[in-house]
Amino acid sequence: MPRLSTERAQIYWRRNISLVIRLLVVWFAVSYGCGILFFDFLNGIRVGGYKLGFWFAQQGSLYVFIALVFYYARKMAALDREFDVQDEQGDN
């Protein structure tokens, strides 16, 4: 793995942390916002026979979290390729 210059390493980590913060904001908005704050409003909508607020509180935030994990992995693989810092085994 080639070493990054100090400036490129700072850019790499800044973009990494920026991605993490954005994904945490999305997860917080879904889990707290949809599961707690907008629970009553979302319960007025039914999906598959279940109230949407209940669904978000019980399962929705988990599904969003799993999707965010896969999204993060894909975006970090692209960022690693951009900065040429892939694992020695290589990313697919």
Cβ atoms within 10 Å, residue 44 = 9
44 domain-assigned: yes
Predicted confidence at residue 14, as pLDDT, reads 96
pLDDT at position 1 is 52
- Residue 16 in any domain: the answer is yes
What's the total number of domains in the chain? 1
Tell me what pLDDT residue 18 has. 97
Per-residue pLDDT of the chain (92 residues; tens, 9 = 90+): 567 888 998 999 999 999 999 999 999 988 888 888 888 898 999 988 889 888 888 888 889 999 999 999 999 999 999 988 876 665 45
Write down the pLDDT at residue 33: 86
- Is 63 part of a structural domain of the chain? yes
Quick check: is 1 in a domain?
Answer: no
Residue 91 lies in a domain: no
Per the domain annotation, does 89 fall within a domain?
A: no
Look up the domain containing 39 and give its range.
6-83
> Distance of CA 51 to CAs 26, 35, 39, 44, Å?
21, 12, 9, 7
Report if residue 88 sits inside a domain. no
